[in-house]
Structure 1
């Protein structure tokens, strides 16, 4: 039998189609891509809180392993380990920051394939998936889309939800330094600040504080810095053995990409790990 989620044509959809689809269901499984980053975690937790406040029964399924600093957000919503997810416990799935099941952790792929699925994402995809989708490649982050979603339907954004959305925005935009930062991104950030987000405290939690192992590993990344083609290509490299010896998750030093980015002549920057 064909999956209810397969589509045969490219479609970016709309926020309206997603909310209309969600209104047909009650118990919503919310998840995101494997090795979830700040945008995946923040947008998932924020959406779970928004749905719960508006009558749904959402559950977030994300693997905390290797999640790094955004892990604190998991205390803000009902969460379950991906290995404990069973399709029969839910009416539908909602994928955030993830265009389809191929980017999900292995334990979730089977469950999601059995559920009607909605997708909200800012990554372009050539294989549209789900019964409803809202894909906006020009958006800075999925967190920005969740913020638009909430304001579109005039859903209340409380402080924990605003903090989750701040994490999503600030991490995917490189603290609002990347080219994906648009006026709409900064307007969303301003709205979150107006709702009481302590940006300094959260940013310190995400970027300033680090384990001794992470600091030493970043020093090793500096030592690995190599440039090619008269500085136009810059890269750093860490091995799996480096991470094991340091006892550090990869997510703890994702910002090490800023090391090659700091070379002013670099047009291509790479972080191999």
Structure 2
């Protein structure tokens, strides 16, 4: 099994390395409402390609969450509708299971560009010219690390810091089921190579603006239990964001609140989207429950224990639809 995995890694690394050597203009992007894995992966690859003398830009649909801005480059990063001045020959999509999840960035990808799809979602649609999709890796950051090591790229402090953020956030600070021995070994390697662990801990986990704490209190006040306390829900409205002056991009961690409740197997965050009458549904689970299967029924996806989808209607309507589906599945699996 290990020989097969090593062979696949070498094949993908060699193929991508060949493309990198043949082209000069690169664009890196990740999914809408980017998280630490998406930002960390593209920033690490940005510095790696920059050090190889390539012309490189990052372009994302959504702003970078405040907690990750300390690792982003001073130049060469664009948030739509700002776009890079030159057309890319090669586009890396990172931590993004579908082209639609790129948002507006999908529209600026040149039709003749080579797309390299690097991802670890089970719901990936293999839309690239090269698809390195490794569901057994903890994060897209782990795949980027594996790529850089296999093509003998020096892991600088900036690269190590970005990759450490990708891994530490997607494993939930090494608490999620995707925390593998490889993830821990790579994290140790990155710290040995200068990853700014203390700075990451401070900015990502221990620096909360007062208004974000106020929003957290409002969200906590919405906690409800369902299905004999097996399901917990919270919700977040646009009014709550406006009242506390918090950008929605900085409120993604609230999805972890309901699943943290003792005895709960499924946690759900319902958040009003900026688009009227649409609700973003973020699902978290444990005890073997597959929320990716639920999200896929509504056009979404993700991982077994963390997935999401978007549903038209109000929060109350979305809650009714999702709870019905979750309770039905729990009954079918004899877990209720």
Deviation at 1:88, TM superposition (A): 5.3
2:34 is paired with a residue whose SS is coil
Following superposition, the deviation at residue 64 of structure 1 comes to: 5.6
Within 5 Å, give how 1:114-125 maps onto structure 2. 114=111, 115-125=113-123
Ranked by relative contact order (alpha carbons within 8 Å, sequence separation 6 or more), the top structure is 1
* Deviation at residue 78 of structure 1 after TM alignment: 2.5
Is this contact kept in 2: 1:224–1:237, CA < 8 A?
yes
Partner of 1:71: 69
Question: Which residue of 2 is the match for residue 220 of structure 1?
Answer: 218
Cα deviation, 1:81-140, whole Å, max 9, x if unaligned, reads: 33233685222211111134211131x212215222111111134632122121101211
SS of residue in 2 equivalent to 1:205: helix
TM-score under structure 2 length normalisation:
0.72
Moved more, 255-264 or 44-53: 255-264
**2:53 & 2:149 partners in 1: Cα distance?**
17
Q: Is the 8 A contact 1:226 1:235 kept in 2?
A: yes
**Distance between the aligned counterparts of 1:65 and 1:104, measured in 2?**
13
Moved beyond 4 Å, runs of 4+: none
1:19 CA displacement? 2.3
C-alpha displacement at 1:15, in angstroms?
Answer: 2.8
Partner of 2:107: 110
- Whole-angstrom distance in 2 between the partners of 1:161 and 1:100: 26
- Given that 2:145 and 2:163 are in contact with CA atoms closer than 8 Å, whether structure 1 keeps it comes out as yes
Aligned equivalent of 2:254: 256
Alpha-carbon distance in 2 for matches of 1:126, 1:259: 26
RMSD over equivalenced CA pairs, Å: 2.2
Aligned to 1:23: 21
- Shift, 1:190, TM fit: 0.4
Distance 1:110 1:32, change over 3 A: same
The count of corresponding residues between Structure 1 and Structure 2 is 262
| Equivalent runs, 1:100-249 vs 2, <5 Å | 100-106=98-104, 108-114=105-111, 115-125=113-123, 127-249=125-247
Q: TM-score, normalised by structure 1?
A: 0.88
Within 2, Cα distance between the matches of 1:22 and 1:125?
Answer: 27
SS at match of 2:109: helix
- 8 Å CA contact 1:69–1:206 kept in 2: the answer is yes
Name the counterpart of 1:266. Answer: 264
Q: Find the aligned partners of 2:107 and 2:259 in 1 and give their Cα distance.
A: 39
Structure 2 unmatched runs, 5+: 1-7, 272-336
Between Structure 1 and Structure 2, which shows a larger proportion of strand residues? 2
CA contact (8 A) 2:138 2:183 kept: yes
Gaps of 5+ in 1: 1-10
8 A Cα contact 2:120 2:139, kept in partner: yes
**Closer, same or farther: CA 32–218 of 1 in aligned 2, 3 Å:** same
Corresponding residue SS for 1:89:
coil
**Does the Cα contact within 8 Å between 1:257 and 1:269 map onto a contact in 2?**
yes
For 1:231 and 1:75, the matched residues in 2 are separated by: 45
